[in-house]
Structure 1
Amino acid sequence: MNHFYKLSLFISFFCINHLHAQSLAPLTVEKIMRDPKMWIGTSPSDITWADDSKTVYFNWNPDKNPSDSLYAYSLAGKKISKVAPADRRRMPGKNGIYNRARSMRLYEKNGDIYIINYKDFSIRQLTNTTERESDPAFSGDETAVVFERSNNLFSIALASGLVSQLTDFKTGTKKADSKPGDQEKFLKADQLGMFEVLKERKGKKDAGKKVTEADKPTRPKEIYLGEKNVTNQKASPDGRFVTYGLTQTDKSAKSTIVPNYVTESGFTEDISARTKVGAPLSESEFWVYDVKKDTARKVATADIPGIHDKPDYLKDYPKLDTAWKKKERKVIFHGPFWSDNGQHAVVIVRSLDSKDRWIMSFDPATLSLKLLDRQRDEAWIGGPGVGGYPQSAGEIGWLDDQTIYFQSEVTGYSHLYTFNISTGKKTALTSGRFEVQNVVLSKDKKTFYLITNEVHPGEQHVYRMSATGGARTRLTHTPGAHEMTLSPDEKNLAIRFSKSTAPWELYLLDNAFAKNAQPVQITRSVSPEFLSYPWREAKVVTIKATDGQDIYARVYEPKQSNGKAVIFVHGAGYLQNAHKWWSQYFREYMFHNLLTDKGYTVLDMDYRASSGYGHDWRTGIYRFMGGKDLTDHTDGAQWLVKTYGVDPKKIGIYGGSYGGFITLMALFTTPDVFAAGAALRPVTDWAAYNQSYTANILNEPQADSLAYRKSSPIYHAAGLKNHLLICHGMVDVNVHYQDVVRLSQRLIELGKNNWELASYPMEDHGFVEASSWTDEYKRILKLFEEKL
């Protein structure tokens, strides 16, 4: 045995034993809060297919570089390779628009428009300008490409390359032509009557002007926008009409400022941030430009069924209820979405108060709207494929020239429907106590690929179903979550899969044999160090709530209990975490393993308003945040006492963002349930949060003050009895640091001395620095170790 071999063997033996020693060492906050790409690994993301379906592309970082790189997996060679920068620059752009035969695809790349022909996969560049061209689409006869440049629509003929301007939107207002006064008119008439030469010359000039006007090419009508912005410009398939939106921002809406203290300049720098809920909303209009008639007309909304409906919550405010006048509620239009033959169009209209969504047929010639489907919700419209905000159209498309498909939560769960615009028949393609969470239609429009949670709310699986509905073929079977990207030739599925103890990896599934085939794993991203610890698979359970509902939850069981428990509250409100796949709260997941090692029982609940459980669960917090969502957690605390023998005086609670808000409400309004809590970046007053999220749930503060009073922790701060830790980033542009400053002053004035605030000068809402994560969670651990 030579010296080099002995040395190599010694080094290998040392490394293996060192790694084993690491696995035996207890978890620490410092260990789990390190940069995840340096010690856990980086999962593949942003999965796309090559146009020839022979290669899968994805972002990945197995080399622990500062940022991810593009990688490719060859189906023929069964190998992964890193894509060179030069090759990446030559690649076609992602996504784009297909022609009806799917033999060509349009896409934008670096502000220019390209078209790829699938006969030979040749690529033709259609524009090359310093301006940005975007949103390419085929004309109705597919002989031209329509695109947007500088807020106007243009078309380029594929045969000749001729570029034509379709609209002429201009900012500001048109200057009025000056008209001569009586004196000028008299002098001009007098001159022409007196001098024959002047009269002859004027005649020649007028005749020449007529010839010039006759020879002048047709140009689109000048449309002056004033102070409004043009959006969503679309040409009809026959080119006869251009539809567009006009929006005007109310200048009285005041924006907030977030001070940034630690800067390169050494001076405090202000970050301009969002408005607060209740600020004046932008006005939105829907217009049609008739190219043939050279006219622009606004689409009226007064006859939309229910446009004047009064919200139910006004019953709690007799004066407002009585004062309500029959006024049109503000709406926003999405579309139009045209049938393949260009004969029919539908639009989705959303009310800005989020209580209505109308799907309507639309005739641009007459500006008429006809109701196809209406969903009304006294809370707010939402759910998978529906869209939780007025600015979202949701899932919609055409199966054939008479039939649209869309999703609706009308039965209480988001399902897939079709509607025949000729017969008026609406058909449910799916039904049951589960959600359709993703929809992809095959290129021949005969098959839907769906992702649903029908097996279990905590699992997401891929199904194949006829476009007419009926039985679904389940294509994935391993418990966890599956994300699907269909290859262009539809022969393979690229699937991202994860389970609760392992991050996302990339798999391939043969579509022809998908029903019985097992996905083939392509990537292995997780480091040996991460795998050296036996991460727990939390038990997914249901807990009976006070009102009889089942709360899904994850529980981490210690081998030997110390009689203490911690309840984690996920953020975002409408988010799911009691599931069987890798959590986006992976740091918290590791922290829960650390706590369990120490003997704590940890509970992680999908409380009221969490996603994945249908309409009633989603809207269970309407007009009262800190109501059912909090009692779900107090029910969870009682369940821990009964089921695991936890000491009722040794239960802690913590969470970030919405989880921080619930923590505050828990300590302020149910102080005898929780002995200690850590509120991370919490909302303290909902009147200080944003419009799109808050107004859905609580309406606007000036209209529904009762809802804000009940739901905002700052009004309940006097109830604090036990120990509170608050952690907040000082450059948080989502939940502003001002929130916690105001609460601090309130606690000071109330004489409370059992709380502390940790501020992070360089962190936004989501922390990025390992040092900040470490400091925050060392404080949380110290709080529970000392106060429970």
Structure 2
Amino acid sequence: MTRLLRNAALSALSLAIISGCSATASNNDSSTVSNQSASVVVPFAMPPQAEQALTLNQIMANPDWMGLLAKNAYWSDDSQSVYFSRQEHQSAIADVYQQGINQSQATILKLNQLHLADQKSGVFNTDKSQKAYIYKGNIFVKQLNSGEIKQLTRQNNAIDDVKFLNSGDLAYMQGNSVFKLHLDTGMTEQLVDIQMAKAPAGVKDPESYIAKQQHRLIAYVALQHDKNKSRAEYAEELAAQDPTFAPKTWYLGDSETVDEMSLSADGRYLVVALSDKNYSWRAEHDIMPNYLGKDGYVDAVPARARVAEDNYPGERLVLLDLVEHVKKDITIEGLTGFDEDVLASVKAENAKAKGESYTSKPEPRVLQLMQDWGWGQSAIQWHDTDNKLLVMMEAHDNKDRWIASVDLQSGKLETEHRLHDDAWINYTFNQFGWVTGEDKFYYLSEESGFSQLYVKADGKTTALTKGEYVVDQVTLSPDASHLYYRANKDHPGTYNVYRVEIATGKTEQLTEWAGTLDYKLSPDGQSLLLTASTAVNPNELYIQPIGGELKQLTQYTSKAFSQYAWQAPQVVKVPSTHGAKDIYARVYLPQGYDAANADKYPAVIFNHGAGYLQNAHNGFSGYFREFMFHNLLTQQGYVVMDMDYRGSKGYGRDWRTAVYRNMGHPEVEDLKDGVSWMAKHTNVDTAKVGTYGGSYGGFLTFMALFNEPELFQAGAALRPVTDWAHYNAPYTSNILNTPDVDPIAYERSSPIEHAQGLEKPLLIMSGVLDDNVFFQDSVRLVQRLIELEKPMFETAIYPVEPHGFRQPSSWLDEYRRIYKLFEQELK
């Protein structure tokens, strides 16, 4: 069951560039970059000389010109082929392909073949001879030795989840019910029927004086009562003794809703996660207006709640014993620190600022199952053979994550692992699970400062990995002897696949890739399917046999893109002058770069989005349009830098949490170091540097221009956050707590509070249909700037665009304006 889960006019030169006029550039064969005033010589590979200048029309065109890449790739059940999808830009439908690992071409599947294709998700029986899966809401079972497929259900009411029981039968969930499908007879048996209502009162004896009198004086009334009572008692006794009846309905009250259910391997126990039915992630009194509605009117689109008003009540767990028909509330007292006042120092600081005092006291915290932010596992993990249960819980204050075992007799939690962070728990490194057939489990934890892999058995925890690198994407091998994982051991921006033997801790590196990748282990455990890229080559699919030679499987990047002389950004380390570690950054040099050039270069710093995202890596950037735009800027004589400022992903816990309660300040310090580094090592004129970025990058553009007005001469903020109190709760409360608890952090970190510092030209661009960062963010800041009488800003709105723009015409308009700003202000 799926959980509730908490997204201008142009200058003459600009016109020339956009229409494709050639750029002038001189060749330079030097392999180093130096500066006469610098004490360090930095080695650089010189940028390639493109035969034809880039144009914004080309860069911002429908991205299909770059090639329809393979996505969502996965293995076939026999490990001899792979499946993947390809989808045209803005197409509503993706085509599905299959390609043998020894074939050079893929075959597109017809619509009537899709239900027969090996499915990405599925569950296996105990001996792995059968695989069950859901396709379009119905259950199918495949015999893996013969390939025979049988459809077991055909209905319009979608099935939510399916699993094999230890008996060999199937269990599936549909709504708030659980069913057992007996594969030998085909009979469907309802195991659980949950009703979110109060239990029926039944036939009650009279209680009030008038009722008792009625029964005493009127024989007919008493007779009917006795008959009804006898019928009810008979029906209850019959249901208890007749084996053909389904079990009794579970009535769990009318104040909550079911978020998730999970059944034990033998079908005896069911864990149910419940939350307040009146809670909604949507705003109570707000909408997002769509001014271009299909009927010609303004459509009122529902909007998410803001962190300032989101009051999530948490979840509670109950355990249903389906054999004894007993319900147990799973209690939280066994979680170490369940009632700690972890925000005591924050509350005291905010109280002091208001001239008040704060007294700390223990109080049960709001808890919930750990939310899945892409790690692809349920937070409820049953042992595959024994009735043993692990759950991963998180505190809604974001300071703790627990892995706990559940005593099935008492319903009590027992802490197996507590991860506490005074800032916030990382929501991305939370994979955990049982080692098949053993009484041990593995998990990821940032307790050392970096996400590392651990295993726990018999109360003893063993670290299987150790070092200043990040581990993720953990996979248990089919024989349960190894754990496979991805890590950036050699360089923060280079990822490879490794495996560690659980029994011995012996580690092997399985790939030698000089970029970034994701992987899937084949069902037979013999090969890896890689989705891999380099700095100038988008993702393609590769097969890597364990211990064998790497083989490229697909080639969907277009010739037009792959044959262009793209400049690969060079990842450098920028020393920090603010007490941080070295800052990793991508650097693009101008064509014909000459370190001794008497005319210093203008420069642009790009600020990536998401905050917690890594972009200064050696793979192909998800910001592919910006990658091409940066190449265009180098053809026009700019140096471009793309920094993984503090808060970025891939560098460990301390780097991630450096922005806690202080967003936009450490990052701007890093940008200052970036400008200084470019001046020292790439001959940049510090009086000719601009900056831009979208989303978090737009926020950072604001914070730089508002708080360090001499750092940049111009900035462009795209779909930007202006006030964190208006952003969503799951992301923002991690870093800034909540406005009612920590207003200091919000006032310190929200650009609208610092707008009086604007002194340089600013371009603000927003989509009206942005349901992530609301258009209202920009509207409020614009009014603030008007009232502050700041004349140096302009705005552009995009009436049909959400957070991630979709229309090529919008992309083109947006980047024409950005380019014009830089040309006017930096040259």
Same fold (TM over 0.5): yes
Structure 1 letter corresponding to 2:264: S
Aligned position for 1:5: none
Q: Please say if residues 190 and 246 of structure 2, whose CA atoms lie closer than 8 Å, have aligned partners that are also in contact.
A: no
SS of equivalent to 2:331: coil
Which residue of the other structure, out of 429, 434, 445, is the alignment partner of 1:397? 434
Query: What per-residue deviation string (whole Å, max 9, x for no partner) do you get for residues 627-664 of structure 1?
Result: 11111111111111122221111100000000000000
SS of equivalent to 1:407: strand
Aligned position for 1:11: none
Q: Please say if residues 192 and 199 of structure 1, whose CA atoms lie closer than 8 Å, have aligned partners that are also in contact.
A: no
Aligned position for 2:316: 285
Query: What per-residue deviation string (whole Å, max 9, x for no partner) do you get for residues 233-256 of structure 1?
Result: 122233332210111155596363
Per the alignment, do residues 134 and 548 of structure 1 end up closer, same or farther by CA in structure 2, a change over 3 Å counting? closer
Give the deviation of 1:63 after TM superposition: 12
Give the deviation of 1:493 after TM superposition: 1.9
Q: Please say if residues 665 and 703 of structure 2, whose CA atoms lie closer than 8 Å, have aligned partners that are also in contact.
A: no
Structure 2 letter corresponding to 1:337: Q
Which residue of the other structure, out of 181, 185, 189, is the alignment partner of 1:160? 185
Q: Please say if residues 284 and 331 of structure 1, whose CA atoms lie closer than 8 Å, have aligned partners that are also in contact.
A: yes
Aligned position for 2:586: 554
Partners of 1:435 and 1:255 in 2: CA distance:
42
Partners of 1:574 and 1:473 in 2: CA distance:
29
Aligned position for 2:564: 533
Aligned position for 1:350: 394
SS of equivalent to 1:24: coil
Partners of 1:640 and 1:84 in 2: CA distance:
54
Tell whether 2:296 aligns with 1:271: no
Give the deviation of 1:349 after TM superposition: 1.5
Partners of 1:644 and 1:205 in 2: CA distance:
91
Give the deviation of 1:179 after TM superposition: 4.7
* 1:244-263 to 2 correspondences below 5 Å: 244-250=272-278, 254=284, 256-263=286-293
Give the deviation of 1:601 after TM superposition: 0.5
Partners of 1:370 and 1:208 in 2: CA distance:
42
Aligned position for 1:763: 801
* 1:402-417 to 2 correspondences below 5 Å: 402-417=439-454
Per the alignment, do residues 192 and 726 of structure 1 end up closer, same or farther by CA in structure 2, a change over 3 Å counting? closer
Q: Please say if residues 172 and 224 of structure 1, whose CA atoms lie closer than 8 Å, have aligned partners that are also in contact.
A: yes
> Larger deviation: 436-445 or 114-123?
114-123
Which residue of the other structure, out of 524, 542, 545, is the alignment partner of 1:489? 524
Aligned position for 1:604: 642
Give the deviation of 1:482 after TM superposition: 2.0
Partners of 2:737 and 2:233 in 1: CA distance:
65
Aligned position for 2:476: 441
Give the deviation of 1:160 after TM superposition: 1.6
* 1:198-597 to 2 correspondences below 5 Å: 216=242, 217=245, 219-250=247-278, 254=284, 256-278=286-308, 279-310=310-341, 311=343, 312-318=345-351, 322-333=358-369, 335-382=379-426, 384-386=428-430, 394-420=431-457, 423-468=458-503, 470-511=505-546, 513-514=547-548, 517=549, 519-546=550-577, 547-558=579-590, 559-560=592-593, 563-597=601-635
Which residue of the other structure, out of 732, 738, 746, is the alignment partner of 1:700? 738
Q: Please say if residues 607 and 629 of structure 1, whose CA atoms lie closer than 8 Å, have aligned partners that are also in contact.
A: yes
Per the alignment, do residues 189 and 539 of structure 1 end up closer, same or farther by CA in structure 2, a change over 3 Å counting? same
Tell whether 2:661 aligns with 1:635: no
Structure 1 letter corresponding to 2:364: E
Give the deviation of 1:158 after TM superposition: 1.8
Partners of 2:649 and 2:73 in 1: CA distance:
24
Partners of 2:88 and 2:172 in 1: CA distance:
39
Partners of 1:776 and 1:642 in 2: CA distance:
32
> Larger deviation: 639-648 or 565-574?
639-648
* TM-score calculated relative to the size of structure 1: 0.90
Per the alignment, do residues 186 and 716 of structure 1 end up closer, same or farther by CA in structure 2, a change over 3 Å counting? closer
Partners of 1:130 and 1:430 in 2: CA distance:
47
Per the alignment, do residues 481 and 86 of structure 1 end up closer, same or farther by CA in structure 2, a change over 3 Å counting? same
Partners of 1:554 and 1:201 in 2: CA distance:
83
Per the alignment, do residues 225 and 125 of structure 1 end up closer, same or farther by CA in structure 2, a change over 3 Å counting? farther
Aligned position for 2:170: 145
> Larger deviation: 624-633 or 69-78?
69-78
Aligned position for 2:138: 112
Aligned position for 1:18: none
Q: Please say if residues 511 and 544 of structure 2, whose CA atoms lie closer than 8 Å, have aligned partners that are also in contact.
A: no
Query: What per-residue deviation string (whole Å, max 9, x for no partner) do you get for residues 669-705 of structure 1?
Result: 0001100000011100000100000000000011101
Structure 1 letter corresponding to 2:583: I
Tell whether 2:766 aligns with 1:728: yes
Partners of 1:606 and 1:200 in 2: CA distance:
77
Aligned residues: 752
> Larger deviation: 41-50 or 298-307?
298-307
* 1:682-701 to 2 correspondences below 5 Å: 682-701=720-739
SS of equivalent to 2:753: helix
Percent identity, please. Answer: 37
* 1:13-28 to 2 correspondences below 5 Å: 24-28=51-55
Per the alignment, do residues 143 and 478 of structure 1 end up closer, same or farther by CA in structure 2, a change over 3 Å counting? closer
Aligned position for 1:753: 791
> Larger deviation: 348-357 or 294-303?
294-303
Per the alignment, do residues 201 and 136 of structure 1 end up closer, same or farther by CA in structure 2, a change over 3 Å counting? closer
Tell whether 2:173 aligns with 1:173: no
Which residue of the other structure, out of 770, 775, 778, is the alignment partner of 2:813? 775
> Larger deviation: 523-532 or 198-207?
198-207
Aligned position for 2:713: 675
Q: Please say if residues 493 and 509 of structure 1, whose CA atoms lie closer than 8 Å, have aligned partners that are also in contact.
A: yes
> Larger deviation: 662-671 or 93-102?
93-102
- In structure 1, the gaps of 5 or more residues are 1-21, 387-393
Partners of 1:164 and 1:400 in 2: CA distance:
28
Structure 1 letter corresponding to 2:57: E
> Larger deviation: 65-74 or 660-669?
65-74
Give the deviation of 1:88 after TM superposition: 2.2
* 1:15-54 to 2 correspondences below 5 Å: 24-37=51-64, 39-54=65-80
Partners of 2:141 and 2:527 in 1: CA distance:
24
> Larger deviation: 738-747 or 354-363?
354-363
Aligned position for 2:33: none
Per the alignment, do residues 98 and 599 of structure 1 end up closer, same or farther by CA in structure 2, a change over 3 Å counting? same
Q: Please say if residues 336 and 362 of structure 1, whose CA atoms lie closer than 8 Å, have aligned partners that are also in contact.
A: no
- In structure 2, the gaps of 5 or more residues are 1-48, 371-378, 595-599
Q: Please say if residues 501 and 535 of structure 1, whose CA atoms lie closer than 8 Å, have aligned partners that are also in contact.
A: yes
Q: Please say if residues 42 and 526 of structure 1, whose CA atoms lie closer than 8 Å, have aligned partners that are also in contact.
A: yes
Which residue of the other structure, out of 58, 64, 77, is the alignment partner of 2:84? 58
Q: Please say if residues 564 and 647 of structure 1, whose CA atoms lie closer than 8 Å, have aligned partners that are also in contact.
A: yes
> Larger deviation: 630-639 or 686-695?
630-639
Structure 1 letter corresponding to 2:178: L
Structure 2 letter corresponding to 1:46: N
Partners of 2:103 and 2:566 in 1: CA distance:
34
Per the alignment, do residues 28 and 290 of structure 1 end up closer, same or farther by CA in structure 2, a change over 3 Å counting? same
Q: Please say if residues 170 and 182 of structure 2, whose CA atoms lie closer than 8 Å, have aligned partners that are also in contact.
A: yes
Query: What per-residue deviation string (whole Å, max 9, x for no partner) do you get for residues 464-519 of structure 1?
Result: 321235332222213111221222222322211110011111111222x33xx2x1
- Greater relative contact order structure (CA < 8 Å, 6+ sep): 2
Partners of 2:640 and 2:233 in 1: CA distance:
90
Partners of 1:194 and 1:282 in 2: CA distance:
47
Per the alignment, do residues 647 and 159 of structure 1 end up closer, same or farther by CA in structure 2, a change over 3 Å counting? same
Query: What per-residue deviation string (whole Å, max 9, x for no partner) do you get for residues 271-313 of structure 1?
Result: 1011000321133111112223323232221342111212242
Partners of 2:175 and 2:232 in 1: CA distance:
36
Partners of 1:53 and 1:151 in 2: CA distance:
36
Per the alignment, do residues 201 and 438 of structure 1 end up closer, same or farther by CA in structure 2, a change over 3 Å counting? closer
Per the alignment, do residues 543 and 642 of structure 1 end up closer, same or farther by CA in structure 2, a change over 3 Å counting? same
SS of equivalent to 2:790: coil
Query: What per-residue deviation string (whole Å, max 9, x for no partner) do you get for residues 323-362 of structure 1?
Result: 4432100111364422222142211111111100111111
Partners of 2:62 and 2:351 in 1: CA distance:
56
Which residue of the other structure, out of 130, 135, 143, is the alignment partner of 2:156? 130
Structure 2 letter corresponding to 1:240: R
SS of equivalent to 1:647: strand
